[in-house]
Amino acid sequence: MLFRFLLLLLICAPSALSAAPYQAMVVAAQKSAAEAGMAMLEKSGNAFDAAAATALALGVVEPGSSGIGGGGFFLLYIAREDRYVMIDARETSPKLAGNGEVFEQQSSIDGPQSAGVPGLAAGVDHLIETYGRLNRNVITQPAIDLASNGFAVGPRLRSMLEWRSSAFSDMARTTFLAGDTIRQPALADTLRRFARGGRDDFYRGETAGRLVADMKRDGGLIRESDLATYRVIEREPIIFDYRGFQFVSAALPSSGGMTLANVFGQLQDDNLKVLNQSDRIHLLVEAMKRAYRDRNAHMGDSDFVEIPDLLNPKRLQQQRAGIRMEHATPSSEIGNSSDAIGPGTDTTHFSVIDAEGNMVSATLSINYAFGSGYLSPSTGILLNDEMDDFATRPGKPNAFGLVQGSANAVAPGKRMLSSMTPTFVIGPDRTFIVGTPGGSRIISMVLLASLGFMLDETAAAEWVNAPRYHHQFLPDEIQHEQGAFNPDVANELQKRGHKLKLMKRRYGNMHAILIERETGKLTGIPDARGEGVAIRQE
């Protein structure tokens, strides 16, 4: 009986497989990086080669957002096997960080000690070796050219530089504040070594030696053995159904997929399409509040901590039953999120599909804008500050205001909990590749855009560009962009007890692709908030 039920589910579940051949497409935050990906497709590479080249190039031309000094998650769909997999290239905690005592005295945001062991080089190398067709030299070349020839500083990067340059090390200042063009010769050399030696060079070879020497001199915590033991991990994505749509999303150590599954699990029996705007927003915010509470209190690296059965349908039904339509539940009534231990311009997301239907949804990060602000002089690598994604200070909010629990405490070799949510949403006849930067707000952004796709009441560009709103349990407020609520809806939400907090700036930088599987028609949707582009193969 159970077998028949499962079989039925398999037959009925939408599959990303399609009869139609596609034109290939890359949608990314910077044109030169999307072009790097497209150049691989032109050389008969596949979506995975394109993703590797785009990732490396983004690390050069968006130095404030991602790079080989950071990490991230690549969600893949391998068409010929009809299989999904997540490449986990998340940073790990260096041994010297112990249980995080260093952050009682030192910052987990600024300076070399805030860096986790970078994962991106291992992730890209694994992607190329396991799934690509082209060789590493070809794939790395566009990034090398961009680093050595330089690129012009655009308005977005300029404003990030103005905001964050006070945290820069000397070398970061020399490199990024030299003028209207940024050249990164030391990084170009490191990329050349990566092209030749791949992860062996980065984690055990010359680059490793240089990086560790810089760390020792300048107060960083990363040592030879941290690099030598870094491993990229292939993980099963989080897969769940919501009212005829299948979600494939990031697994732990990203909280993204589980938090999305938590929200949609609570709302399984609600027909959002028939609700008026105030009711819909109220319900979504209440479900977010409960799902983020679970995230913050219980999630961490599942290789280190036991994660409770948060997605048990009975439990989710109970959470739904606790939502009152007429009144917001104060977060303090739901519980707390740090039980045991007492703006979205950085990070990057891109989406790729190739002619065979292979897909990549990748979100990559160095955490805060320009990561730790520390640029290793001998390698040109700008190091991340992902240590701040751990619960480094008991009961205190991190840079994104998240108050988190012991499941996400610092431990040697552990991966810090992430909100990065690269996702595929597969409907009866269309597929949506989606993701965005934006710290803790990433999950609610992917949620709102996916709802746009599923409810399909507006043009596709609106799913990405509509003003956003967000609740993350603590602080107990709805954070929103200008224009997210009309005055009547805002009044109604306040009447129900919600506190509204207008964000000073718009947030996120989503890069999505809509695929109509029957016809093969593709719509690239770059976020109007940023400078991203969609490039289609001619």
Annotated ligand binding at 365? The verdict is yes
Binding segment for ligand DON (CB under 6 A), chosen from 39-47, 222-230, 341-349, 490-498, is: 341-349
CB of 297 to ligand DON, least distance (A): 16
Q: Which amino acid belongs to residue 71?
A: G
Sign of CA dihedral 447, 448, 453, 455: positive
Annotated ligand binding at 367? The verdict is yes
Binding segment for ligand DON (CB under 6 A), chosen from 54-62, 315-323, 352-360, 436-444, is: 436-444
Binding segment for ligand DON (CB under 6 A), chosen from 174-182, 264-272, 431-439, 485-493, is: 431-439
Beta strands in 456-499 (DSSP E): 469-470, 478-480
CB of 439 to ligand DON, least distance (A): 4
Q: Does 94 bind ligand DON (CB under 6 A)?
A: no
CA–CA distances in Å: residue 261 to residues 70, 81, 421, 441 = 27, 25, 12, 16
527 by DSSP, 3-state: which? coil
Report the site for ligand DON in 53-92 (rule: CB under 6 A): none
CA–CA distances in Å: residue 507 to residues 70, 154, 260, 504 = 21, 18, 19, 9
CB of 268 to ligand DON, least distance (A): 26
CB of 368 to ligand DON, least distance (A): 7
> Is residue 30 within 8 Å of residue 345, measured between CB atoms?
no
Annotated ligand binding at 398? The verdict is no
Binding segment for ligand DON (CB under 6 A), chosen from 202-210, 338-346, 427-435, 511-519, is: 338-346
Q: Does 344 bind ligand DON (CB under 6 A)?
A: yes
CA distance 191 to 183: 14
Q: Does 532 bind ligand DON (CB under 6 A)?
A: no
Annotated ligand binding at 419? The verdict is yes
Q: Which of 230, 175, 228, 524 is nearest to 381 (CA)?
A: 175
The overall longest dimension of the chain from CA atoms, in Å, is: 69
Q: Does 347 bind ligand DON (CB under 6 A)?
A: yes
Q: Does 419 bind ligand DON (CB under 6 A)?
A: yes
Residue from 438, 452, 524, 532 binding ligand DON (CB under 6 A): 438
Q: Does 265 bind ligand DON (CB under 6 A)?
A: no
Beta strands in 378-472 (DSSP E): 381-382, 423-426, 430-434, 469-470
Sign of CA dihedral 432, 452, 261, 477: positive
CA–CA distances in Å: residue 424 to residues 28, 250, 502, 512 = 16, 10, 30, 10
CA distance 447 to 256: 10
Binding segment for ligand DON (CB under 6 A), chosen from 345-353, 459-467, 490-498, 527-535, is: 345-353
Residue from 373, 439, 530, 532 binding ligand DON (CB under 6 A): 439
Which x/- pattern, by CB under 6 A, does the window 366-385 give for ligand DON? -x------------------
Residues with a known catalytic role: 347
Q: Does 259 bind ligand DON (CB under 6 A)?
A: no
CB of 332 to ligand DON, least distance (A): 25
CA distance 143 to 184: 11
CA distance 273 to 271: 5
Q: Does 392 bind ligand DON (CB under 6 A)?
A: no
Report the site for ligand DON in 114-173 (rule: CB under 6 A): none
Q: Does 348 bind ligand DON (CB under 6 A)?
A: no
Annotated ligand binding at 439? The verdict is yes
Q: Which of 141, 129, 115 is nearest to 56 (CA)?
A: 141
Q: Does 45 bind ligand DON (CB under 6 A)?
A: no
CB of 148 to ligand DON, least distance (A): 27
CA distance 506 to 190: 35
> Is residue 269 within 8 Å of residue 242, measured between CB atoms?
no
Which residues sit in the known binding site for L-glutamate? 90, 365-367, 389, 418-419, 439
* Binding residues vs ligand DON (CB under 6 A): 344-347, 365, 367, 386, 389, 418-420, 437-439, 442
